[in-house]
Chains A and B, each alone.
Chain A
Amino acid sequence: MSLSLDGAGLVHPNGHRALHHVSLSLASGARAAVVGPSGAGKTTLIRVLGTALRPTGGRVDVLGVDPWQVGTGALRALRARIGVVHQNPPIPPRLRVVTAVLAGRLGTWPTWKALASLLLPGDAAGAREALARLDLGDRVFDRCDRLSGGQLQRVGIARVLYQRPDLILADEPVSALDPTLADEAVGALVAASEANGATLIASLHAVDLALKWFPRLIGMKGGEVVFDRPTAAVTTAMLHELYATEGRTLPVQGVEAQASERGPNVLVLRRPGCQ
Chain B
Amino acid sequence: MSASLGSTAPLAAPLRDPAARGRLGALVAAIVVLWPLLVLAEFRPAALFETGHLQVMADFLRGFLPPSTAPDFLPLLAKATLETLAIATAGIALAFLVAAPLAVLACRALAVSRIGPGPGRRRSAALRAGTRALLTGLRAIPEVVWALIFVRALGLGPGAGVLALAVTYGGMLGKVYTEILESGDTRSARALLEASGRLGALFYALVPSTAQELASYTVYRWECAVRASVVMGFVGAGGLGQLMDQSMKMLNGGEASTILLTFLLLVVLADAASAVIRRVLA
**Chain A's nearest CB lies how many Å from the CB of B187?**
5
Task: For the complex, count residues of B whose C-beta is within 8 A of A.
Answer: 31
Which B residues are in CB contact (< 8 Å) with A270?
none
By the criterion of a CB under 8 Å from any partner CB, how many residues of chain A are at the interface? 40
The A interface, classified by DSSP as helix, strand, loop or mixed, is: loop
**Is A111 interfacial (CB-CB < 8 Å)?**
yes
Q: Does B69 contact A (CB under 8 A)?
A: no
Asked if A118 lies at the interface with its beta carbon under 8 angstroms from chain B, I say yes
The verdict on A75 contacting B119 (CB below 8 Å), with A39-B3, A90-B205 known, is: yes
**B190 near A118 (CB under 8 angstroms)?**
no
**Residues of chain B lying within 8 A (CB to CB) of residue A39:** 1-3
Which listed residue (B3, B118, B194) contacts A84, Cβ 8 A? B194
Cβ B1 vs Cβ A106 within 8 A: no
Considering the complex, which residues of chain B in the window 107-128 have a beta carbon less than 8 Å from any beta carbon of chain A? 112-113, 115-120
Q: Is the interface of B mostly helix, strand, loop or mixed?
A: helix
Q: Which residues of B contact A104 (CB under 8 A)?
A: 195
- Within 8 Å CB of B203, what residues of A? 114-115, 118
Q: Is B185 an interface residue (CB 8 A)?
A: yes
Nearest CB of A to B199, in Å: 6
B209 at the interface (CB under 8 A from A): yes
Closest residue of B by beta carbon distance from A103: B204
Q: Among B116, B120, B192, which residue has its beta carbon within 8 angstroms of that of A106?
A: B192
What is the distance, in angstroms, from B115's C-beta to the closest C-beta of chain A?
A: 6
Please report the C-alpha to C-alpha distance between residue A68 and residue B119 in the assembled complex, in whole angstroms: 7
Per-position 1/0 for A183-208, Cβ under 8 A of B: 00000000000000000000000000
Q: A16-B1, A118-B203 are in contact. Are A50 and B194 (CB under 8 A)?
A: yes
State the 10 A-B residue pairs at the shortest beta-carbon distance, nearest first: A106-B196, A106-B200, A90-B191, A92-B209, A90-B188, A107-B196, A54-B116, A39-B1, A103-B204, A92-B208
